[in-house]
C-alpha cells in the first residue's frame, strides 16, 4: 500500500480515535513516526488529528504503547544505508 493524499487517507480510515489518550499517541509516535522517512509529510498523522485510525495501521495488541504496526513505515537510516551502498 502506498501513502495517498490526505483526503483519500481520511476516506479509507476507520472512524474512531486510535489511542485511549494523548500520552499513548505520543509514546507510539516516538517509536514509529519519529524514526520514519515520511514523518514530516505523513498524511496519516493528519488522519489521527481528525480522530480516525489510519487504514495502514494494523492493530497488534490492545492497550500496548506499541499497539499498531504502520505498514507505511520506512526507517530513516534504512534509506541512508541503501544510498551508501550505491555510492
Question: Residue 50: which domain range?
Answer: 6-86
For the stretch 4-61, pLDDT in tens is 999 999 999 999 999 988 899 999 999 899 999 999 999 999 999 999 999 999 999 8
- Residue 72 falls inside a structural domain: yes
* Tally of domains in the chain: 1
pLDDT of residue 19: 92
Distance between CA atoms of residues 53 and 25, nearest Å:
11
Inside any domain, residue 1: no
Confirm whether 65 is domain-assigned: yes
Whole-structure pTM value: 0.81
Contact 42, 76 (CB under 8 A): no
Amino acid at each position: 500500500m502506498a501513502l495517498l493524499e490526505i483526503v483519500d487517507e481520511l476516506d479509507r480510515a476507520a472512524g474512531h480515535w486510535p489511542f485511549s489518550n494523548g500520552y499513548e499517541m505520543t509514546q507510539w509516535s516516538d517509536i514509529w513516526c519519529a524514526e520514519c522517512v515520511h514523518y514530516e509529510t505523513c498524511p496519516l498523522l493528519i488522519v489521527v488529528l481528525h480522530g480516525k485510525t489510519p487504514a495502514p495501521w494494523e492493530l497488534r495488541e490492545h492497550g500496548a504503547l506499541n499497539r499498531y504496526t504502520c505498514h507505511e513505515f520506512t526507517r530513516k537510516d534504512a534509506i541512508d544505508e541503501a544510498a551508501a551502498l550505491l555510492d
